[in-house]
Amino acid sequence: LKKKILFSINQVFKRQRQGILITGLFFLLPAVAATILFKYYPMVKTLWMSFFEYKTIFNPGAFVGLKNYIDMFQVSLFLKSWGNTLILGIFFILLGFWVPILQALLLSYIRKFQGFIRVLYLLPMVVPGVVAAYLWKWMFNPGNGLFNTLLIKFGGKPLLWLNDPDLVKFSLALPVLLGGGIAVLIYLAAIEGVPAQLYEAGDLDGMNAWMKIRYITLPSIKSIIKIQFILMVITVFQIFDAPFIMTGGGPVNESKTVSMLVYDYGFQRLQYGKSSTAAMGIFVVLVLMTIVQIATQKEENE
Amino acid sequence: MHSKIKSSSERVLRIAAVFYTAIVLVLLLFPFFWLVSSALKDNIQIYEKPPNLLPSVPVRQEVYVDYSMISDAENIDDIIMQDAVKIIWGINYQFRTDNIQKIKVNILDDNTLLYSFSASNYKIWDAAREIMKTISYSPEMIANHYIAISDWMNIKEYNKEIDLKGRSGDDTAIIKDYLDETYHIAGEVITTQKVKDYSQYANNFISAWVNAGEFDTSVNKLGFGRFIVNSIFVSFMVILAQLSISSLAGYSLSKLVTGKLGKLILLFFLATMMIPFIATLLPMYIIFNDFGLLNTLWALILPSTSWGFAIYLFKGFFDKLPNDLRDAARIDGASEINTFVRIMVPLSKPVFGVISLWSFLAVWNEFMWANITIQKPALWTYTVALYKIQQGSGSFAPNESMALNVIAIVPTLFIMLIFQKSIQKGIALTGIKG
């Protein structure tokens, strides 16, 4: 009897299988439509636009092939904005990448109030980017800002911060020095996931606490560190809001990032071909970084 | 922490951890403190150089005026009201560098307190702008406008005995002379006193909230609330879209369309993570222009209907639910959509929660796209409003814009405090990908 029932169930399934597939595709329809319309179509269109002259947004004008790309490399602002983005990215990574790792690592040695401290570390998350940008701008204010007040108090000279062409990129990256945010919890979760046996083995080998961090904890969370690093690079290459709000790209274009260049060419200079060309640059970087990320993950899984 | 034997190096590390964490948390919280402190400062303190760490306590100026001598006068009500307006406006103008946040005129009949007229500093300046179209004060001008101006005052009736002993300040004589000589007050100024008034800390918040409405006439009633309502609407719709569109797709890829085709479609969704939004900016603008959806909130909602990572998360979660559930429902003759809604969704609350939260945070903080597509002030989200307010017009002092920034943090702060457990769980659920 059992066999019979199973058989009949299979029959039902067979009949239904086609129906299920159609229903399934039907379920996928809205997501596929939205993805094509708002992701793939615009991306292809950007590529397409980058080959045209585009005098106005709705009129492609003459096909110019790779001319926009070649031109771009002769525009000093284009090269400068890539340079700015790179330097800004390096500042972000140097000042900020290691901070949440250290914070998580040390937090794992604190047992009292750990839950409360976690919540405090999450607090930067609640600050919308626009608010953070204006708050820092207010603290960087050369007139009566907090930083200059502190500098003067401790006998230093007041600085121009965001208004100083040499200092603007450093100033924009400075907030990351405080760390916090979701990254701390991600690292903490990873650290807590390290098997206790490893530490016990370390004890048997006579390792002290520093050696355990160096030879057990850090290697165990290496993959998370790598992925976080790649994600940070991806974020940094798209940075827009903070410089747009805090400096507008100035002074003298010293904080103009590639994303801002896309915006500038598109919505201020109305050179859509050039804007699309700059956008393609960011796309290529992102594709490369994603490939690196996938390769990293694969390597870790093996 | 990993063994019972505490080595000395571990003890050092533990102490270092406590110190470092304490210092970092102080530094991390300091910007929050500075934000709130700036928002609480008055219009003079905010420009102080060097700035004070803490805002000073707001001061209320009390003025006691006696009318027992002329209590029989025919138009005593008019006289009192005119006097109150003169006193409030006169003091606010003449002693503006004293940082008085509120002025309260107490009307006395001998020892009986009859009424009080009061107005906060920002209300007086607003009245100056709106009613008199000028901020220069003259007794004549006040006499001409006093009825309109009196709408801006808060009037309270008391009818109780009070004792004036000890209610006087160092500057009573100066204020008294000024009021008598310049404004010819009908009543007799008995005494004045400056008192601390903590409720006036709210002034910047109220005035900034109300004044934010001035960008557009249709915004006026809600003030800054209009922009928050817009943001809430957009976030709500995006969450709704995410939860329906992405969950259906995730479910389909997990239980319905499997095999090679399923893998291919999943890849199709996941590959969109390589497409930076900035790279699609112009075509998106063109699309929404073609749809006629620029300057509508749909321009902010629709782009978020496609989020590959959410589909991936949903699929991963549904994969963990046993297929037997679905099969049982099928044998009972339930349709796929019924199976999904009645059986799968109730089992998937955690993943729905996490995705709602991430969608909310992403959309709630969105700025660039909203700033490009929405020109109409009535439709600004709060991020765009904050940008417009702080970028240009000089009508907002830094303390007022900081007050708006504080307000802007509150919704996310609440959501984070309520859902912080869910956020921490979400880290595990998303496979620690960030």
> What pLDDT, in 10s, does the model give residues B399-425?
999 999 999 999 999 998 888 887 777
Q: Which residue of A has its CA nearest to B417?
A: A119
Interface test mutation site (partner B, options A9, A18, A38, max chain B beta carbons within 10 A):
A38
Q: Does residue B1 contact residue A111 with C-beta atoms inside 8 Å?
A: yes
Q: What pLDDT score was predicted for residue A258?
A: 94
Whether B54 has its CB under 8 Å from any CB of chain A: the answer is no
ipTM: 0.89
Q: Do A208 and B7 touch (CB under 8 A)?
A: yes
Predicted confidence at residue B256, as pLDDT, reads: 87
Q: Does the beta-carbon distance from A127 to B409 stay under 8 Å?
A: yes
Q: Which residues have CB under 8 Å from B145's CB, separation 6+?
A: B131, B132
CA distance B200 to chain A (A): 23
Q: What angle do CA A241, B354, A296 make, to 5 degrees?
A: 70
Cα separation, A52 vs B28, whole angstroms: 48
User: What DSSP string runs through B327-353?
Assistant: HHHHHTT--HHHIIIIIIHHHTHHHHH
Q: How far A175 CA sits from the closest chain B CA (Å)?
A: 10
Q: What is the pLDDT, as a whole number, of residue B429?
A: 64
Which residues of chain A neighbour B428 with C-beta distances below 8 Å?
A: 189
Backbone angles phi, psi at B153, to 5 degrees: -95, 155
pLDDT of B432 > 60? The answer is: no
- Cβ neighbours of A20 in B, within 8 Å: 256, 336
Q: Which amino acid is at B128?
A: A
| Interface test with chain A among B234, B255, B282, by most A beta carbons within 10 Å | B282
Q: What is the DSSP string of chain A?
A: -HHHHHHHHHHHHHHHHHHHHHHHHHHHHHHHHHHIIIIIHHHHHHHHHTTB--SBTTB--SB-TTHHHHHHHH-HHHHHHHHHHHHHHHHHIIIIIHHHHHHHHHHTT--TTHHHHHHHHHGGGGS-HHHHHHHHHHHH-TTT-HHHHHHHHTT-----GGG-TTTHHHHHHGGGGG--SHHHHHHHHHHHTS-HHHHHHHHHTT--HHHHIIIIIHHHTHHHHHHHHHHHHHHHHT--HHHHHHTTT-STTTT--HHHHHHIIIIIS--HHHHHHHHHHHHHHHHHHHHHHHHHHHHHH-
Closest CA to A183 of A115, A100, A106: A100
Ordered mean pLDDT values, 10 residues apiece, chain A (302 residues): 72 72 90 95 93 76 85 88 95 94 94 89 91 94 89 89 92 93 91 90 88 91 89 91 91 93 90 90 92 84 72
Is residue B2 pLDDT above 60, yes or no? no
Paired sense of beta strands B154-161 and B59-66, if any: unpaired
Task: Write the pLDDT tens digit of every residue in B177-221.
Answer: 888 888 888 888 889 999 999 999 999 999 889 888 877 766 567
pTM for the complete prediction?
0.89
Q: Does B328 touch chain A (CB under 8 A)?
A: no
The count of CB pairs under 8 A between chains A and B is 303
Tell me the pLDDT band of B132, cut-offs 50, 70 and 90. Answer: low
Its sign, for the CA torsion B286, B292, B295, B301, is negative
C-alpha B238/C-alpha B302 separation (Å) is 8
Q: By C-alpha distance, which of A226, A231, A224, A228 is closest to A192?
A: A224
Q: What per-residue confidence (pLDDT) applies to B326?
A: 78
Q: If contacts are CB pairs under 8 Å, which of residues 391-420 in chain B contact chain A?
A: 391, 398, 401-402, 405, 408-409, 412-413, 415-417, 420
**Helix or strand or coil: residue B379?**
helix
Q: CB B276 to CB A138 under 8 A?
A: no
B275, A283 contact by CB (below 8 A): yes
Give the pLDDT of residue B75. 84
From residue B300, give the alpha-carbon distance in Å to each of B226, B238, B288, B291, B410.
16, 9, 10, 13, 22
Q: What is the 3-state secondary structure (H, E, C) of B24-59?
A: HHHHHHHHHHHHHHHHHCCCCHHHCCCCCCCCCCCE
Q: Which residue of B has its CA nearest to A286?
A: B274
pLDDT of B370 higher than 80: yes
CB nearest A282 (choices: B13, B269, B276): B276
The answer, for B301 touching chain A at a CB cutoff of 8 Å, is no
- Distance, in Å, from the CA atom of A28 to the CA atom of A20, rounded to the nearest integer, reads 12
Residue B140 to residue B13: CA distance in whole angstroms: 74
**Which 8-state DSSP code applies to residue B275?**
S
| pLDDT, mean over chain B | 86
- Report d(CA A163, CA A141) in Å as an integer: 9
Instruction: Say if residue B136's pLDDT is above 70.
Output: no
Does residue B134 surpass a pLDDT of 70?
no
Q: Using CB atoms and an 8 Å cut-off, which of residues 123-162 of chain A contact chain B?
A: 123-131, 134-136, 138-139, 143-146, 149, 152-153
